[in-house]
Amino acid sequence: MSESGQSWRLEFKAHPAEARRVREWAATRLVHPDAPQVAHELFVSVLASGTQTVRMTLSTAGSRTRLMAAGSVELSALQSHGPGYLIVSALSAQSGLNADGQGLWALLTTKDET
Question: Which tens digits make up the pLDDT trace of 36-77?
Answer: 999 999 999 999 999 999 999 999 998 899 999 999 999 988
For residue 114, what pLDDT is reported?
A: 47
Residue 79 inside a domain? The answer is yes
Q: Is the pLDDT of residue 113 over 70?
A: no
Residue 105 inside a domain? The answer is yes
Number of domains the chain contains: 1
Q: Which domain holds residue 53?
A: 7-113
Mean pLDDT of the chain: 92
Q: Is the pLDDT of residue 2 over 80?
A: no
Residue 2 inside a domain? The answer is no
Whichever domain contains 102, its CATH number is: 3.30.565.10
Handedness of CA 35, 38, 41, 46 (dihedral sign): negative
Q: Kindly compute the dihedral angle of the four CA atoms of residues 110, 7, 56, 27, in this order, to the nearest 10 degrees.
A: -50
3-state secondary structure of 114: coil
Q: Is the pLDDT of residue 1 over 70?
A: no
